[in-house]
Amino acid sequence: MDYHMLSPLNSADLGVLRAGDVVYLTGTIYTARDAAHARFDQMLKRGESLPVPKGACIYYCGPCPAAPGEIIGPCGPTTSKRMDAYTPALMDYGIAQFIGKGARSSAVNQVMLGRAVHFAATGGAGMLYASRITACELVAFPDLGAEAVYRLEITDFPVVVTFDLLGNDVYARTQTK
């Protein structure tokens, strides 16, 4: 199925999604890659709040700098498994939706079961995703450059559900044993 939904999604929206569905997100998402996740981890260990709100959608992306007159440069996804070590703690914090590239580890899928949804963004489509971003604001960790945390306002941002609340996984369907 195809859906047009507001981001961040609420629990009812997450519940209707099934692996393989195409979703066009409109609203707000936050970028965070490896370095930002490491800082999130340290903040959570100290009991601090994160610079992203509970319930937010995290996009594993490090946007390229914007050319003059543009909102943002190309901003394609990075590999989701690189964030797997941090995902359980982020879920405990209140994040239940993630956008990245590729499959998650089986351990993270087990933690996500019934609690979170993973979306895939198409690798190599950074300019397409940039064209769906209507605003970009630096939120945290400016010293990280492209790996800083940015709040993105998006319109019809295309993603595919790769792991749903029921545990359906599009990557498991195509894996050979």
For tokens 């190599």, name the residue.
124
**Strands 22-31 and 149-163, bridge-based pairing:** antiparallel
Which is nearest to 141 in space by CA: 47, 69, 34, 17?
34
Which is nearest to 32 in space by CA: 115, 105, 93?
93
Separation of alpha carbons 170 and 21, rounded Å: 10
Active site residue ranges: 37
Which is nearest to 150 in space by CA: 37, 19, 51, 11?
51
